[in-house]
Amino acid sequence: MAGVFPRLELGRSIKAIVFASVLGFTAVASSFSGAQAGGPESLADLAEELGDAVVNISTAQKVVAKRSLQLPDVPEGSPFQEFFEEFFNGQEPQGDSPQRVQSLGSGFVIDGEKGIIVTNNHVIEDADEITVNFNDGRKLSAKLLGSDEKTDLAVLKVELGAPLEAVKFGSSEVLRVGDWVMAIGNPFGLGGTVTAGIVSARNRDINSGPYDNFIQTDAAINRGNSGGPLFNMDGEVVGINTVIFSPSGGSIGIGFAIPAETATRVIAQLREFGETRRGWLGVRIQHVTEEIAESLGMKSASGALIAGVSDDGPAKNAGIMPGDVVLTFDGRGVPEMRDLPRMVATTTIGSTVPLTVLRRGEEIPIEVTLGRLDEVAEVEKVEDEQETVKNTADETVVLGLSLAKIDEARRERFALSDEIEGVVITRVAQGSSAEGKRVRAGDVIVEVAQEPVATPKDVVNMVERLEADNRRSALLLLSNGSGELRFVAVRIED
């Protein structure tokens, strides 16, 4: 609900992450000196020009609060009965009582003719009433056109008789670390507050959602700034303020804004459809760790490793396979796993895009026609699962793993579905690299170094081949009992 801000423990150095949209009691403003080298002499003209397009968003919501005190059980006719009844004003002590909760945030006008306003989703979430407060004192009720929880964006519309002052989006892609930026918003309900600073970092992933790509700034952003604009020195909106890191709830110079490049695509869809319509590839992906990169013969750890492919998804139809590493998508490089979901999501549904995958050491071009993302079928990120060979009577031990063929007894013992084929792991040596990567008895080795295996001897042969090639790790494709796949790079012991 707007007005209540979750905190996320981030270790000893940073204690909390706070959405910036609740009323407080004191304001912390960042000082800005025109005498600083390289900075603008004054932001007065810019602030005066843009101020009327920035608005305050107030919301109201009815919530049900349970009464914490209950009428004690006292004897009928007792003098205490009269006392407690007077104390509770004759009301029924049990049950729920509705209360009205209000909160404040910020927003800005992007279409003055049609009365279109942008803010954060968490500012208006679950609100029964939304009111937009303008600099000239006007208050207008707003209608919610659409919102997106994953990017924390919402689009509002107000009905008015005359055009509103509006601002335009600029390009967040050309921003550089060190560029000056200015924020205008409603911190702590004070309204019309201007702060300034620089871009501290770009492309920040703070684990708040699947499409994290935040601009970090040291311009003071406090509770109530949520949904307000972050301007460049040309007066263009390059970000939408949304989150702060803070141990106390006030600004410590670490704030985050949604980049304009991300926001404009989502806003356009919310205006047109009232919802987001994201592209869908139909894959499960993993990070390419240093160990996995080495096991695949890659020069550096980059791209997104395909751990699984949906049977009815676009990737399957295009010929993408588990074990492929996506290096480029639609002509752009894929530096990290987290970049691929964002690239796919912002691509037009039904469009055919080229991508490049690394498969068994060869770069292969593929074209894929994207589907539409179902919220229940979206790209899934798979958490990374971070000895000398000897034989026993019934099992083979390699890489600290006891291996055996899959027979009916072992299929029943480890609850393996009938479709799973490969080599079952019956035991994992304590202290082995495999144990450290959370490999468990009952996992099935489907491939080693992207080659299918059917017997323990196949696994041994592949490991020996990797040792001969001076590989330090063996890349295993593992399946659990239900058939879900993941890749694990297990160290080859000397």
pLDDT of residue 8: 38
Sequence-separated contacts (24+) of 272-275 with Cβ below 8 Å: 273/146, 274/145, 274/146, 275/146, 275/148
Do the Cβ atoms of 101 and 60 come closer than 8 Å? Answer: yes
pLDDT of residue 101: 57
Higher pLDDT, 308 or 54: 54
pLDDT of residue 77: 58
pLDDT surpassing 80 at residue 307 = yes
Name the pLDDT band for 250 (thresholds 50, 70, 90): confident
Name the pLDDT band for 274 (thresholds 50, 70, 90): very high
Active site residues: 122, 152, 226
pLDDT surpassing 50 at residue 16 = no
What rounded mean pLDDT belongs to the chain? 81
pLDDT surpassing 90 at residue 268 = yes
Q: Write down how long the chain is.
A: 494
Q: What is the mean pLDDT of residues 468-472?
A: 82
pLDDT surpassing 60 at residue 381 = no
pLDDT surpassing 90 at residue 240 = yes
pLDDT of residue 26: 32
Alpha-carbon span 333 to 29, nearest angstrom: 39
pLDDT surpassing 50 at residue 383 = no
Residues tagged in the binding site annotation for substrate? 122, 152, 224-226
Using CB atoms within 10 Å of the CB of residue 10, give its burial: 0 to 12 exposed, 13 to 18 middle, 19+ buried: middle
pLDDT surpassing 80 at residue 169 = yes
Which residue, 69, 186, 197, is CA-closest to 120? Answer: 186
Question: pLDDT of 107-154, one tens digit each?
Answer: 999 999 999 999 999 999 888 899 999 988 889 999 999 999 889 999
Name the pLDDT band for 106 (thresholds 50, 70, 90): very high
Enter the tokens of residue 189.
């309900």
pLDDT surpassing 90 at residue 232 = yes
pLDDT surpassing 70 at residue 448 = yes
Domains (range + CATH), the chain:
17-52+168-273 (2.40.10.10), 279-381 (2.30.42.10), 390-491 (2.30.42.10)
* Signed CA dihedral, 466, 472, 475, 478: sign only: positive
Considering the entire predicted model, what is its pTM?
0.65
